[in-house]
Structure 1
Amino acid sequence: MTLAEIARLAGVGRAAVSNWRRRHDTFPAQIGGTATSPNFSLRDIEKWLRDNGKLGKTTTREWLWPRFEALGDRDEAGLAIATVGRLLARGESDGGVSDGAGAGPVRAAVELGRREGAYDIFMFLFRRWLDTHVRQITTTPETLADLMADLALRTRGPFVGERHEDPIRVLDPACGSGHLLAAAAKTVPTTLHRPATLLGCDRDPVLTALTEARLALLPDPEAPGPMPVIAPGDSLRADPLIGAQADMVLCNPPANERDWGYEDLAADTRWVYGTPPRTELELAWVQHCLARLRPGGSAVLLLPPTVAARKAGRRIRRSLLRTGALRAVVALPPGSAAPHSLSLHLWVLRRPAPEESPQGPGAFLFVDAAARFPRSTSRDSGPEGGELGAFIRSVVGTAGGGVVAGGSHEPATEDSGATAWTAAVPVIDLLDDDVDLTPGRHVTPSSGHVGPRLADSWSEVGELLDGLRAESACLAAIELARGTEDRPSATVGELARAEALTLRSGRLPAEAAVSEPGHARVPLLTISDLLLDESPSGWVYPDDAVVVEPRDVVVVGVSREFSAWVHEGPPMAVGPQIHALRVDPDALDPWFLAGSLKSPANARHAGTHASSSSRIDVRRLQVRRIDLSEQRRYSDAFRHLAAFEGLAERLRIVAMRMGRDLGDELAAGRLANGE
């Protein structure tokens, strides 16, 4: 166990554990790790905490995860957690658990699950497992999964002879950790008041076991359906659910795989719209999903933006358009899901039903939500997840009608304000040499929307200029001494050991992508957000994260984005390579600390200089040793300097946005005739 894990189990900060280690001779000895990151025996730590009355009051479940993690192997720990879920779902005793290394943790988890809630305990262990292996497993954020399930419902049908009591069959052929199927299990009964039959498969048998247990433990929806059927297997090469016909397919397929079975599947009957080239794995998944739909069924896939424009896939895209199988492409803002640097696309498809009256080539819907929701650079604001979902739902239409579902060629009403970021383009106009389906190439905001936005921007420019004048006057009045006084300095590491501050390093929780703010959630800031000049990219539970409070100092430990500032907004979680410093107010002023740490000379001293992505050793950053009253003198100057830099950066962003809007208007010939 690390010091951070001991702190979590005891319900205290890491600094408190360090103090116990220094002050108590009976504290267990280090059994591994390094001098700066020691490891301890779980058994010894538990005994010491109990003997010294330092166990947290609400940490019963916290003791579960170290026992599963101690199994060592990713697969063994995952299968043990799946066993917990299976036993809890079936209400079985633990008599069927073998007496291997995982038997003790499984029995303890089952017992706790029956006391505190089966689903809660299973999901606690499941999220911790995902958190530990977050770099190996791709998940779909909760709100994006909900949106995809909702869009599939809005696009499906009509079905001849469909009965109200019939279950809706939902398939995810690359289900991974089951986020999309869990969203469907919630959305289908709530929207249609009908049960959902959940089908899924994945190449990773550990993930399929976990997903099956997760779905079996879902709280009973309004219309509970049959037990889920989750099978291990490669959907493209040897589909274990080959005979299944679904009403809806949801899929976040794997990307960037060269060996997906191109040679073996060259003559596969699923390639109705053309044989996918070796580089077009995603278009193979698109056709696989369409092949698993019953006529009239709908599919929503999350795909990289390059799928819409690569030359190798233009023949298949042309065929999808001509047959009406592909109905819409929605461009999501960067950060909506991993990889967070890309503006991923949602492809909305429907397998045409024979009984539908022919509509002709019709119109194709483009939605540029990435342009509608450009990210703010404010580090104190979260993503507009709720507004994003509401916007996309409004322009795609309602179940049984709207642009996609009912085949109408008219976009959403002007009253909704959505048409500035949507376009209903005749299919015939898209069947050129490129067949480029990138929404940004077809969606042009109308003059009626750009005009008011420009007026607001000019007003904002005036306010920013007023603020810059005020701050520049304060900074210009600062007198700098000619000489430099030789004062001793201290490193962050030394200040931490002296308990003048507490240093915590951020980490990436399991649910680390865009999702709506829920009860007791806080925004999460990552290095990717800073590289993209974005606001925090998701919402997480504070118990699973390192959270900064007002007046904490935030330090970015990457050379390219090195910075330090005082957090003044609501609580916010920080990801890897971002550090939180909480100062003792009787020893340090946070503004003085942040301003001192931010010095470029400090970064040169503490950095590795290997590349622009090199890390900064935060513990080596230096601060001058001066008394608190003098710190506060410098604090005022650092405050004005930070405000000046923030206003200048905001003005740069507004100027770039205005340049794009005004440039488009002038290029379109909308300059009014003057007298």
Structure 2
Amino acid sequence: MGQDATLNAGDIARLADVGRAAVSNWRRRYDDFPQPVGGTAASPLFSLPEIEDWLRRNGKSYEMSLGDRAWQALKTAGDDLRLGELVGCAGAFLLYLAREPAAARRAARAADPAAVLRRDAARATADLPVRPDWSLVGAGRYALLADLAAEQGPAAAFELLCERYAEAHSRQLSVTRPDIVALLAGLARLEGQGGTVLDPACGVGALLLPLAGARLLGQESGEAAALVAAARLLLGGARAEIAAGDSLRADGFPGRRADIVLCDPPFNERAWGYEELTGDPRWEYGLPPRGEPELAWVQHCLAHVRPGGLVAILMPSAAAGRRPGKRIRGNLLRAGALRAVVALGPGGPDLWLLRRPEPGARQPSTMLVAEAGDEPSGVLDAWRAFGAAPEAEPPGGRAVRIIDLLDDEIDLTPARYRPRHPKEDPARAYAAARERFQAAAAALGGSPPRLAARAGDLPTTTVGELVRAGLVGFHQGPARPAAGHGDLPMLTVADVVAGGPPSGRTRHDPGQVVLEPGDVVATASATECAARTVTEGGAVLGPQLHLYRVDPERLDPDFLAGHLRYAGTAGTGRAHPGASRVDARRVRIPRLPLAEQRAHGRAFRELLELDDRLRETSALGRKLVGLGFDGLAGGHLRPDG
């Protein structure tokens, strides 16, 4: 690595296997911590050699994997604005390496690899949508990429680079949520294996990647993203054809029709080509209004699917009811093209499922309306059941008569069409909720702790001083859970806030902190403030959590937990007003004898238990009110007495 290699705070945290908060703490606590060499005040960059030297001098263990070294070398080969091109060029080289390994390895170690690659790699990478600029990556870095591919394989090596790229450009890249990617892949598989799948706004290929068994077509307006998508898919062994260019203005697949079209289009793009595309033949269901570009994408997708083929497109929630688009929504319904609208969560997006009408086919009379809630995977069951019996009530959704939708508004918002027949008896559900609420309310009758006035100020210390004195050991949760699924219980922020048992699951990973009875766990975020004493051990500490392991003969854990919770809610533990994280080192703790600490700890614990009961009662009350409103307004319940 050269002296030009740089790291951001997240990279340093990964290198040292700590959380980002630890890196921020090091910058504040240590005068000799390296100064930024670039970046911005909000996202500074540090010299990799300087960081490595500082970690060694301060006894901080670290290990930079070959993957991270390759990423840092690639990232520093050009400015941040060209990072996508650099990643795409790396993908093109790894594709060449996968197809012609001996030639690519020789090129990687040549004195001028760019010249060799320009001469020799064109044939092996001819199916890429964009010719890579081989001079971008630079000498030495191709050799690192070759070493990484030898260690992990070319496809896995490029996926690692794509993951780092998504992390580095999380605000610039629009990446579809993983659960929605899985849902769309499941819908595509329900249509049958094989065939052709098109994504006309494919980004870096996320929607197409799980469908490598099909013939894949994709188009993306950005050349760098198109190059990344093509390299990912081809390295994964897919039969893929990716075009670069704006699908609406410069269709890369004119006249071609796929069996399935998946699409997560850009939302709210006003400059989508309204003026030049006014007379476009794709607008079979009406000219999309200038402010409704998503309806242009819907019709573009329908124009590229075979009769009877499926279109699954993500839409902003407002598109289901905005007045300018009602004419096109009505025409889609009348033609039998729009088959389902599914809300995928509060704030969107919605999923629209459409089929291109088959000539002479019977006109459908119903459309599926559903709300996925927290489990988008449940949409598959509803869609499967609706396809088998379009007139019946599918699980988790409602088959609404199309004639009932064609009113003055043509509002297809799923919340307006909740199932007429609830899964459980509404009277029984309301009675059970009422009983639980009354029991919880009765439990509030327990007496809160009695507190008396105290005269004078107490001497105090800080948590940082307690740590240095050896009364408290401090541990930090990982930046993210260990990759992959596992059955090891993990305490999460939500568990600490709610006072529940560990609900997370992870796999074993070196460096995990195992909870012990008497440990104090607190949230690191100032927006989710909670601190509790652990009563049962065995689980591991999750992300965004801090653990304080106290010497119980000198410090009461409930006493410490109470002050940590107060510091978070009152803001006294923040580094500065408005900070999003609590700096626990600054939290002040009164100096009290152990007996008094324990008395304070009992009072803190009783107040926390009361707070939990209040929260539970409030949640039960909200559920009771919701069931009552749903039942009365929906006609399922009536006043009784």
TM-score w.r.t. the length of structure 2 is 0.78
Q: Measured at CA, do residues 21 and 151 of structure 1 come closer, stay the same or move farther in structure 2, by a change above 3 Å?
A: closer
Return the letter of the residue paired with 2:368. L
CA distance in 2 between partners of 1:480 and 1:289 (Å) = 68
Q: Which has the larger radius of gyration?
A: 2
Question: Does the aligned pair in 2 maintain the 1:300–1:348 contact within 8 Å?
Answer: yes
Q: Specify which of 366, 380, 383 is matched with residue 396 of structure 1.
A: 383
| Structure 1 segment 482-561 matched on structure 2, within 5 A | 482-490=453-461, 500=472, 502=474, 518-519=485-486, 551=519, 553-555=521-523, 557-558=525-526, 561=527
| Structure 1 segment 88-107 matched on structure 2, within 5 A | 88-90=94-96, 91=98, 92=101, 93-94=104-105, 95=107, 97-98=113-114, 102-107=138-143
- Which residue of 1 is the match for residue 356 of structure 2? 351
- Which residue of 2 is the match for residue 427 of structure 1? 402
Question: Does the aligned pair in 2 maintain the 1:608–1:615 contact within 8 Å?
Answer: no
- Which residue of 2 is the match for residue 468 of structure 1? 444
Task: Answer yes or no: is 1:410 the counterpart of 2:385.
Answer: no
Q: Structure 1 residue 366: deviation in Å? A: 0.9
Return the letter of the residue paired with 2:251. D
CA distance in 1 between partners of 2:410 and 2:513 (Å) = 46
CA distance in 2 between partners of 1:287 and 1:35 (Å) = 45
Q: Specify which of 451, 459, 466 is matched with residue 480 of structure 1.
A: 451
Q: Measured at CA, do residues 12 and 287 of structure 1 come closer, stay the same or move farther in structure 2, by a change above 3 Å?
A: closer
Q: Structure 1 residue 270: deviation in Å? A: 1.0
Worse overlay, 132-141 or 282-291 = 132-141
The DSSP-based 3-state class of the residue aligned with 2:253 is: coil
Task: Answer yes or no: is 1:85 the counterpart of 2:85.
Answer: no
Q: Structure 1 residue 249: deviation in Å? A: 0.8
Q: Measured at CA, do residues 521 and 483 of structure 1 come closer, stay the same or move farther in structure 2, by a change above 3 Å?
A: closer
Return the letter of the residue paired with 2:369. F
Q: Structure 1 residue 311: deviation in Å? A: 0.6
Return the letter of the residue paired with 1:205. E
CA distance in 2 between partners of 1:319 and 1:198 (Å) = 30
Return the letter of the residue paired with 2:155. Y
The DSSP-based 3-state class of the residue aligned with 1:179 is: coil
User: For residues 384-416 of structure 1, what are the alpha-carbon distances to aligned partners after superposition, in whole Å with 9 as ceiling and x for unaligned?
Assistant: x4xx41x2211111xxxx423x6732233xxxx
Question: Does the aligned pair in 2 maintain the 1:554–1:581 contact within 8 Å?
Answer: yes
Question: Does the aligned pair in 2 maintain the 1:203–1:234 contact within 8 Å?
Answer: yes
- Which residue of 1 is the match for residue 304 of structure 2? 292
CA distance in 2 between partners of 1:549 and 1:82 (Å) = 43
Indicate the percent of aligned positions where both proteins have the same amino acid: 37
Task: Answer yes or no: is 1:217 the counterpart of 2:229.
Answer: no
Question: Does the aligned pair in 2 maintain the 1:141–1:179 contact within 8 Å?
Answer: no
| Structure 1 segment 169-318 matched on structure 2, within 5 A | 169-185=196-212, 195-218=213-236, 225-226=238-239, 228-318=240-330
Return the letter of the residue paired with 1:640. E
Q: Structure 1 residue 625: deviation in Å? A: 4.1
Question: Does the aligned pair in 2 maintain the 1:522–1:573 contact within 8 Å?
Answer: no
Q: Structure 1 residue 85: deviation in Å? A: 3.0
CA distance in 2 between partners of 1:655 and 1:605 (Å) = 32
| Structure 1 segment 121-200 matched on structure 2, within 5 A | 121-154=157-190, 167-185=194-212, 195-200=213-218
| Structure 1 segment 576-655 matched on structure 2, within 5 A | 579-586=544-551, 591-599=558-566, 603=570, 605=572, 615=580, 618=583, 620-626=586-592, 630-655=596-621
- Which residue of 1 is the match for residue 426 of structure 2? 450
CA distance in 1 between partners of 2:22 and 2:496 (Å) = 31
Q: Measured at CA, do residues 261 and 590 of structure 1 come closer, stay the same or move farther in structure 2, by a change above 3 Å?
A: farther
Worse overlay, 656-665 or 583-592 = 583-592
- Which residue of 1 is the match for residue 153 of structure 2? 117
Q: Measured at CA, do residues 270 and 530 of structure 1 come closer, stay the same or move farther in structure 2, by a change above 3 Å?
A: farther
CA distance in 2 between partners of 1:498 and 1:64 (Å) = 42
| Structure 1 segment 344-383 matched on structure 2, within 5 A | 344-354=349-359, 357-370=360-373, 373=374
Return the letter of the residue paired with 1:349. L
Question: Does the aligned pair in 2 maintain the 1:523–1:538 contact within 8 Å?
Answer: yes
The DSSP-based 3-state class of the residue aligned with 1:134 is: coil
CA distance in 1 between partners of 2:206 and 2:55 (Å) = 37
- Which residue of 2 is the match for residue 338 of structure 1? none
CA distance in 1 between partners of 2:504 and 2:298 (Å) = 28
Question: Does the aligned pair in 1 maintain the 2:461–2:589 contact within 8 Å?
Answer: yes
Q: Measured at CA, do residues 2 and 270 of structure 1 come closer, stay the same or move farther in structure 2, by a change above 3 Å?
A: closer
Return the letter of the residue paired with 1:328. A
Q: Measured at CA, do residues 265 and 498 of structure 1 come closer, stay the same or move farther in structure 2, by a change above 3 Å?
A: farther
CA distance in 1 between partners of 2:223 and 2:267 (Å) = 19
Q: Structure 1 residue 74: deviation in Å? A: 3.2
Question: Does the aligned pair in 1 maintain the 2:75–2:86 contact within 8 Å?
Answer: no
CA distance in 2 between partners of 1:17 and 1:41 (Å) = 14
- Which residue of 2 is the match for residue 440 of structure 1? 415
- Which residue of 1 is the match for residue 82 of structure 2? 76
| Structure 1 segment 323-362 matched on structure 2, within 5 A | 323-334=335-346, 342-354=347-359, 357-362=360-365
Question: Does the aligned pair in 1 maintain the 2:9–2:45 contact within 8 Å?
Answer: yes
Q: Structure 1 residue 509: deviation in Å? A: 10
Q: Structure 1 residue 641: deviation in Å? A: 1.9
CA distance in 2 between partners of 1:229 and 1:538 (Å) = 40
CA distance in 2 between partners of 1:616 and 1:609 (Å) = 9
Question: Does the aligned pair in 2 maintain the 1:362–1:426 contact within 8 Å?
Answer: yes
Q: Measured at CA, do residues 13 and 285 of structure 1 come closer, stay the same or move farther in structure 2, by a change above 3 Å?
A: closer
The DSSP-based 3-state class of the residue aligned with 2:248 is: helix
Return the letter of the residue paired with 1:118. P
Note the aligned Cα RMSD (angstroms).
4.6
Return the letter of the residue paired with 1:214. R
The DSSP-based 3-state class of the residue aligned with 2:86 is: helix
User: For residues 458-491 of structure 1, what are the alpha-carbon distances to aligned partners after superposition, in whole Å with 9 as ceiling and x for unaligned?
Assistant: 453355346534xx33x3xx33231244223345
Higher RCO structure, 1 or 2 (CA under 8 Å, sep 6+): 1
CA distance in 1 between partners of 2:235 and 2:181 (Å) = 18
CA distance in 1 between partners of 2:42 and 2:464 (Å) = 11
The DSSP-based 3-state class of the residue aligned with 1:277 is: coil
Return the letter of the residue paired with 1:424. A
Question: Does the aligned pair in 2 maintain the 1:509–1:544 contact within 8 Å?
Answer: no
Return the letter of the residue paired with 1:184. L
The DSSP-based 3-state class of the residue aligned with 2:182 is: helix
CA distance in 2 between partners of 1:439 and 1:24 (Å) = 55
CA distance in 2 between partners of 1:498 and 1:14 (Å) = 25
Q: Measured at CA, do residues 664 and 28 of structure 1 come closer, stay the same or move farther in structure 2, by a change above 3 Å?
A: closer
Unaligned runs of 5+ in 1: 157-163, 186-194, 335-341, 374-384, 413-417, 512-516
Question: Does the aligned pair in 2 maintain the 1:28–1:48 contact within 8 Å?
Answer: yes
Question: Does the aligned pair in 2 maintain the 1:329–1:346 contact within 8 Å?
Answer: yes
CA distance in 2 between partners of 1:537 and 1:291 (Å) = 46
The DSSP-based 3-state class of the residue aligned with 1:230 is: strand
The DSSP-based 3-state class of the residue aligned with 1:238 is: coil
Q: Measured at CA, do residues 105 and 505 of structure 1 come closer, stay the same or move farther in structure 2, by a change above 3 Å?
A: farther
Question: Does the aligned pair in 1 maintain the 2:524–2:546 contact within 8 Å?
Answer: no
- Which residue of 2 is the match for residue 41 of structure 1? 47
CA distance in 2 between partners of 1:602 and 1:37 (Å) = 27
Question: Does the aligned pair in 2 maintain the 1:9–1:63 contact within 8 Å?
Answer: no
Q: Structure 1 residue 179: deviation in Å? A: 1.4
